[in-house]
Amino acid sequence: MKDHSAHAGHGAHAGAQPGGLSVSAHGYTLQLDAPILTAGVRTVTFRVTGPDGRPVTEFTPEHEKKLHFIAVRRDTAGFQHVHPVMDEKGTWSVDLALEPGDWRFFADVHPVGHDGTMTLGIDVAVAGAYDPKPLPEATGTARIGEYTVTLDGELLPGEASALTLTVSRNDRPVTDLQPYLAAYGHLVALRVGDLGYLHVHPEGEPGDGTTGPGPEIAFMAVAPSAGTYRLYLDFQHEDVVRTAEFTVRTTASTSRPDTPSPAAPEHGGHHHGSHAHH
């Protein structure tokens, strides 16, 4: 697994600034065809343009994909991690399930010729009656159907900290997680308030001789500041990718209540189908 620690969007030790706060960085820009959309399952098309103003068509794959695309509403609801398809001219397309409100889209890419991964972000308006959701309470437990994921460890500002997520199903440890994006879990953290983007990956990888397929998935992460963060863990079991969500509050001395979160819906990729094609 490659080390992305020099790049704020990806690195577990990149605590200076989160990624995704800018639509343009290092001469590269995220361009949407339509920044105003209607609610429902919609096909979103976009490009990443380079310093010459032209769409980039060559990307270095990171974790099995040339581009990782994250969509989340500004109230942190509706999280989707999908993988668009690019045509020969550099236009990407992907289906998203969108409810009314203000959204943030992130493109996580490594253009060929650039020295690392970057995360670009752009605001999108989805028309309709907006019913913002309150931020879920801080919790160390997430439930997704028959699955329970527990979070151990503290997210600390400015320093690397270990986070361990443990997956069980009907109170039994899951020991046969399937690789997903070259790992047994994929964790995205967003800072509440500006949706600053931290993209971290587990310690170890499938097939390295030491990393087991569950029930524990270990990560190293750095919070760029004290505050509240939303954590989204994608994991794959029995050919379905599920997302466990957590709210974490961090200060110099972090404390977190350990209470169950409301049940989250399962998703098997029926409306953002790239989950089904790994």
| 47: Cα separation from own chain's centroid | 20
pLDDT tens digits, one per residue of 261-272:
444 444 433 333
Is pLDDT of 46 > 50? yes
Peptide bond into 215 cis (omega under 30): yes
DSSP assignment letter at 111: B
The partner residues of 176 in beta bridges, in order of sequence, read none
Is pLDDT of 258 > 50? no
Strands 161-169 and 172-173 come out as antiparallel
Is pLDDT of 278 > 80? no
- Asked if residues 189 and 155 have their Cβ atoms less than 8 Å apart, the reply is yes
3-state secondary structure 42-74: EEEEEEEECCCCCECCCECCECCECEEEEEEEC
pLDDT tens digits, one per residue of 106-152:
999 999 999 989 999 999 999 999 999 999 999 899 999 999 999 99
Q: Which residue has the higher pLDDT, 252 or 206?
A: 206
Percent composition of the chain: helix, strand, coil (DSSP 3-state, to 5):
0, 45, 50
pLDDT tens digits, one per residue of 12-30:
333 457 999 999 999 999 9
pLDDT at 12: 38
Selection from 226, 219, 156, 159 nearest residue 191 by Cα: 226
**For the chain, percent of residues with pLDDT exceeding 90:** 72
pLDDT at 16: 52
